A and B are shown apart, each in its own frame.
Chain A
Amino acid sequence: MLKVEEQTPVVFSSELLAKFDEVKSRYPADKSKSALLPLLHLVQAEFLWVPTSAMDKVAEYLNIQPIEVYEVATFYTMYFLKPQGKYALEVCRTGPCCLVGAEKILSHLENKLGVKEGEVTADGLFSFRGVECLAACGFGPVLQISPEYTFYENLTEASVDKLIEDLKNKS
């Protein structure tokens, strides 16, 4: 994975551009803007967030104005517009998960990681935030980890501890 800073021009690899081409082929030739959301996901999977310079390059690729990319990237919640931890943990904080203890999990994560919601740990490994319904209400509390969106259900404080340790050991 590349690490890029806000103003650093990004480089799209030939592999990434090949994926872009495959996605673009799914739509009528004159409707390639439809590829915008999937392309932004690909960019985020590559760089772990979506820098402005990458949005500009996506606009160029799709032959649309940069503002058309910005307005989409800022409307949807999944696109990170600033760097996150290598493991960005997202805990569902909506009604059904809260009925079975989601707030405690969020609180526990804050204590465990020693950072506030939205911040990144000093080692760059973790960030976390509460998100709205993840559509797994019967198996709550739940969390997911981008960019793969691996999913963890029926969380307890102990299972969160184990998850954090496993991720640390993996890095």
Chain B
Amino acid sequence: MSRKLLLEHINVPGINTLEVYRQKGGYRAVEKALKTLTPEEIVEEVKKSGLRGRGGAGFPTGMKWSFLAKPEGVARYLVCNADESEPGTFKDRYLMTYIPHALIEGMIVSSFALGAKVSYIYVRGEMMPQIRILEKAIAEAKAAGWLGKNILGTGYDLELYVQPGGGAYICGEETALLESLEGKRGNPRIKPPFPAIAGLYGCPTVVNNVESIAAVVPIINDGGDEYAKIGIGRSTGTKLISASGNLVKPGVYEIELGLPVEEFIYSDEYCGGIANGKRLKATVAGGSSVPILPANLTLKYANGEPRLMSYESLSEGGFATGTMMGSGGFIAFDEDQCIVRNTWNFARFYHHESCGQCSPCREGTGWMEKVLQKIEHGHGKMEDVDLLWDIQRKIEGNTICPLGDAAAWPVASAIRHFRDEFEWHIKEPVKSQSQNYGIANYATPIEKAPVTEEK
């Protein structure tokens, strides 16, 4: 049984309320941090913990905090990135829904460490129920003296606000998020300057994911060294994994990093195997933007060693035979799923969500969507596969923000590992022709492609 740090009390009735959260030890970290630690000591504990950003990039959180500029007389901000909208990822929504005070407690400790007097939680607009939950929890915390003026008599003041987004995936990119928080279109900024130097309103700002901020609570309660003992190598601590697709038990699981992928998929403690007794065909391990992997490379390295749920193990082999931990959005595809159709679906997503600022992304994502749709509907030509490869190569690395890479990698990896299936769609247009459900652009092939990879 994996140790739980964030979801330990998830099943306790009323854990969403301040009263029950306190009964389970909540807000101890605020008391400890504000009364016994200096901001520098908190940053040091987070550094010792080895915590890496849980939003997807995996950058060491303590190091990110230590980059924050501290000019005299200038406000500093902590902004929580709760704009969760990466396909396959739904862990932050889960955490905010059921244990909102875990995020609020983390925000208070982190804001104190960074010297922020006003902090914002930027929540994607579609999550209005979660926004209401957080606002209620903030009001509870404020009424109890955990927020506002002179918290616990320590002289520290903090106001915490929830900001709704407007439905744009790009606002999960930290500089686009800041633009949006300033009331503008979510167009990413050119870096440098990084937000740590010039972020919200041009002031030094740290942007952290919901899970990263919540993880600060157990780090302060138990110490950074204790947190670092959990996990494997430079992948320390626990990680929330959101599991979806053709699994017996999809949902949000907290794992100790280093868990074998095979155990995560097949054990009853986690996903319970592939639904309907089918075989695993492929996975996307860290949200839609990371490379898709066929089943054999999901479970084992190219050399046959078991693959683990950790930043290093999942990326072992680079993009040729590996993938990324990303946000922990784990999508499983059974043997009946069409890789071409799914790649088209993801391409449509990135085309829809491109902010349009950079030409390679604006034009390339739409072009990939069209070519993939053509192939999927049985109208492709053999040279279209090479064309797709060429387009994604021209997007990757050529945009201001990583959305271009995020759009390119699913296409590149699908061609790399499932080229046969693309070619089958082109060679057998009748068999692969889509069965249309009556709505344009919503379709699925009549016959499944030959399974090229199996466990």
Contacts and interface: CB of A to CB of B under 8 A. Distances in A.
B166 A138 contact: no
Contacts of A144: 126
Contacts, number: 166
Interface stretch (B226-234, B241-249, B372-380, B386-394): B241-249
B93 A117 contact: no
A68 B159 CA distance: 28
B67 interface: no
A93 B439 CA distance: 12
A109 to B, nearest CB: 9
Contact of A72 (B183, B243, B250, B288): B183
Contacts of A148: 128
A135 B164 contact: no
Contacts of A93: 345, 442
Q: How large is the interface on A (under 10, 10 to 19, 20 to 34, 35 or more residues)?
A: 35 or more
A133 interface: yes
B85 A137 contact: no
Which of A35, A106, A134, A150 has the most B CB atoms < 10 Å from its CB? A134
B164 A133 contact: no
Given A117-B439, A136-B93, A148-B128, A96 B244 contact: yes
A114 interface: no
Contacts of B14: none
Interface string A15-41: 000000000001010010111111011
A37 B129 contact: no
Contact of B331 (A135, A137, A139): A137
Contacts of A139: 90, 250-251
A99 B337 contact: yes
Contact of B87 (A31, A130, A137): A137
Assign chain B's interface to a size class: 35 or more
Interface stretch (B55-63, B211-219, B346-354): B346-354
A135 B124 contact: yes
B345 A95 contact: yes
Interface stretch (A2-10, A74-82, A160-168): A74-82
B136 interface: no
B165 interface: yes
B302 interface: no
Given A95-B288, A135-B93, A137-B88, 19 more contacts: A28-B75, A31-B182, A33-B183, A33-B184, A37-B183, A62-B183, A71-B185, A75-B168, A76-B166, A78-B167, A79-B167, A93-B345, A94-B288, A100-B246, A103-B439, A103-B443, A117-B439, A133-B288, A148-B128
14 contacts: A28-B75, A76-B165, A77-B168, A94-B345, A95-B342, A96-B245, A103-B437, A104-B437, A106-B442, A132-B169, A133-B349, A134-B85, A138-B243, A140-B244
3 tightest A-B CB contacts, nearest first: A76-B166, A78-B167, A137-B244
